[in-house]
């Protein structure tokens, strides 16, 4: 009897001891989750409707860096992805926007277009992409270097710029969805052929399957009462008459010319998770002594916010369903590895702003800056001051590009013209600041809005004059707005989970550029070669 009691006590003790597993020296797998265009306050906005195993589990069991921001002016999607992966700002990594005007070729360039590459996995041209225009290394690149190529690294997203810029230059693979075929593709920059398992995955035709499903709310409509009405004046919707639930996705898809529809349904996120899980299993990530890295970017949130706006029932439903996708990933970690063997972090590439119409209804200063009207007046002004001529090449993303050849031929000072234009533009209501590139080159701004100007400015790619609007002001009226240095566009979530992370909250200011150096610090490897951020030392302090 005493022996049996002793044995039972011993079993309980050893079982409990086994559960107190110490974290390994380094994680076997790092998973980065990027929720595109996610404001920090979405966590609290949707909290009551979240389940227990997604966002709440990350918060309850992980470390929440609740004051994480981007520190540059033009918070565009592509710039955000590059800053997350490289640990530095657009001024250094060179991805100043989604598109920019190239003075040498006299045309617009997309951040990841590379005509030297070929599409792999489709007959379309949507795989002609690479990170060639990103001038720096990423954490994933440094991981490859440190492991002598033994560590695997992948990036997955519905859209190309997310996958490419998060993957970096030397990734094992980067995959995105081809809008023409609805299949996952890659670029010849990464591989000349698709892995056999990707071909098998594509053969399942899951994109077609998901596009057969109507989109109804996950929970009863009354649970969404704290958000905007389902039909509200601030959302664009699929069309003027297709703005409310239920959404007949098969009908919308029939009217479309390709598979782009999947981006505008929550099933696009489900498809992304399906492919991410397949990547972990088929590539056997985290199964040897070399730490592997996977980044998963959820693009649907970006597209739905642009169509329906913050506060919409559609965006709320997308977040509730995304909560389930995150739970799927955490469950896989439990089953395959164990929480202490894996690092998970969740962040976003940019925030999101409310439509000016809604802000006005709340008596908050806001408005619409009519840039084309302003440019027409500016051209008239320049002709009056400098004579006839096309002094302006183009305008894009708050930036004016001047005709430098004409200015030089006319013997006009570039600095003088930039100053003149800057002073003219700030006369318009809604324009807070306008700054010329020569001023940014010749001054070392280290704080305030001017530092954010500097961090966005790239000498070869940025415009001659960069314009900053007042808070709440946007260029055009859409359901969603971004590309500013204000909190609604810069403040994003950053949550760390697993490995040595404890449940805590870090309230001090953290820069998104701190993510990549922190990952390098975890593994005791070199930071990305131009990283300006610093490791978040509180994450694993004893």
Helix, strand, coil fractions of the chain, as percent rounded to 5: 40, 15, 45
Distances (CA, A) of 414 to 179, 379, 388, 393, 419: 43, 16, 17, 14, 9
Q: Are 326 and 33 in contact (CB under 8 A)?
A: yes
* Dihedral (CA of 199, 200, 206, 208) sign: positive
Domains of the chain: 34-359+485-539 (3.40.720.10), 370-428+431-469 (3.30.1360.150)
E-strand spans in 364-485? 367-368, 392-396, 399-402, 431-436, 465-469, 473-474
Short-list 139, 140, 142, 121, CA closest to 188: 121
Other CB atoms within 10 A of residue 1 CB = 5
Say which range, 84-93, 318-327, 348-357, has the weakest mean pLDDT: 348-357
CA distance 275 to 268: 11
Measured CA to CA in angstroms, residue 305 lies from 47, 311, 337, 350 at distances of 18, 9, 34, 12
Tokens standing for residue 519: 């990952």
Least confident segment among 108-112, 345-349, 482-486: 482-486
- The count of other CB atoms within 10 Å of the CB of residue 391 is 23
Ranges of beta strands (E only) in 193-320 are 292-298
Q: Of 156-160, 235-239, 337-341, 374-378, which gets the smallest average pLDDT? A: 235-239
DSSP calls for 464-528: SEEEEEPTTEESS--S-B--SSSHHHHEE-EEEEETT--SEEE-S-EEGGGHHHHHHHHHT-PPP
Token pair listed for 521: 């610090």
The answer to whether the beta carbons of residues 138 and 93 sit under 8 Å apart is no
Q: Do 156 and 294 meet the contact criterion of CB atoms below 8 Å apart?
A: yes
CA distance 355 to 235: 9
Block residue for tokens 């002073």: 423
pLDDT tens for 229-283 read: 999 999 989 887 789 999 999 999 999 999 999 999 999 999 999 999 999 999 9
pLDDT of 381 strictly over 60: yes
> Could you read off the pLDDT of 38-82 as tens digits, one per residue?
999 999 999 999 999 999 999 999 999 999 999 999 999 999 999
Of the candidates 349, 346, 457, the one whose C-alpha atom is nearest the C-alpha of residue 77 is 349
Across 6-10, 18-22, 364-368, 447-451, least confident range = 6-10
**Which tokens go with 395?**
């305008």
């Amino acid at each position: 009897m005493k022996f049996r009691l002793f044995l039972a006590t011993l079993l309980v003790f050893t079982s409990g001891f086994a559960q107190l597993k110490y974290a390994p020296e380094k994680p076997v797998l790092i998973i980065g989750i990027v929720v595109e265009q996610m404001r920090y306050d979405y966590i609290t906005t949707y909290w009551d409707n979240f389940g227990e195993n997604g966002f709440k589990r990350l918060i309850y069991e992980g470390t929440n860096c609740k004051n994480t921001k981007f520190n540059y002016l033009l918070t565009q999607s592509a710039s955000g992805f590059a800053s997350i992966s490289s640990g530095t700002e657009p001024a250094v990594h060179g991805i100043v926007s989604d598109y920019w005007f190239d003075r040498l070729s006299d045309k617009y360039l997309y951040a990841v277009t590379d005509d030297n590459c070929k599409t792999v996995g489709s007959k379309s041209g949507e795989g002609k992409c690479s990170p060639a225009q990103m001038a720096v290394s990423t954490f994933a690149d440094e991981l490859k270097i440190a492991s002598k190529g033994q560590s695997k690294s992948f990036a997955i997203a519905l859209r190309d710029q997310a996958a490419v810029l998060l993957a970096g230059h030397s990734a094992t693979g980067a995959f995105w969805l081809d809008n023409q075929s609805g299949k996952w593709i890659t670029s010849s920059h990464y591989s000349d052929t698709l892995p056999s398992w990707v071909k098998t995955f594509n053969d399942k035709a899951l994109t077609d399957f998901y596009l057969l499903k109507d989109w109804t709310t996950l929970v009863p409509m009354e649970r969404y009462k704290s958000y905007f009405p389902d039909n509200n004046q601030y959302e664009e919707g699929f069309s003027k008459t297709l703005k409310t639930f239920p959404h007949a996705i098969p009908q919308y898809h029939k009217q479309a010319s390709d598979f782009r529809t999947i981006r505008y349904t929550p099933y696009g996120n489900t498809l992304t998770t399906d492919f991410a899980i397949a990547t972990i299993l088929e590539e056997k990530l985290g199964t040897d002594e070399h730490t592997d890295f996977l980044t998963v970017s959820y693009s649907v949130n970006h597209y739905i916010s642009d169509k329906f706006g913050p506060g919409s029932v559609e965006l709320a439903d997308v977040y509730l369903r995304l909560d389930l996708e995150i739970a799927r990933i955490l469950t896989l970690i439990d089953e395959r590895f164990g929480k202490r063997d894996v690092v998970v972090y969740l962040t976003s590439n940019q925030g999101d702003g409310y439509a000016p119409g809604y802000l006005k209804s709340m008596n908050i200063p806001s408005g619409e800056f009519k840039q084309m009207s302003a440019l027409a007046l500016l051209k008239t002004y320049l002709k009056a001051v400098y004579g006839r001529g096309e002094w302006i090449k183009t305008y894009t993303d708050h930036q004016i590009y001047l005709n430098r050849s004409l200015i030089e031929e006319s013997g006009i000072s570039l600095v003088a013209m930039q100053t003149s234009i800057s002073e003219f533009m700030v006369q318009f209501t809604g324009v807070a600041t306008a700054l010329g590139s020569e001023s940014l080159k010749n001054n070392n701004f280290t704080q305030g809005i001017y530092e954010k100007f500097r961090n966005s400015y790239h000498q070869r790619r940025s415009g001659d004059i960069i314009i900053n609007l007042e808070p709440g002001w946007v260029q055009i009226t859409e359901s969603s707005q971004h590309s500013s240095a204000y909190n609604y566009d810069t403040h994003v979530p950053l949550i760390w989970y697993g490995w040595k992370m404890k449940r805590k909250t870090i309230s001090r200011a953290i820069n998104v550029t701190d993510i990549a150096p922190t990952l390098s610090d975890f593994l005791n490897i070199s930071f990305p070669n131009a990283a300006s951020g610093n490791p978040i030392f509180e994450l694993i302090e004893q």
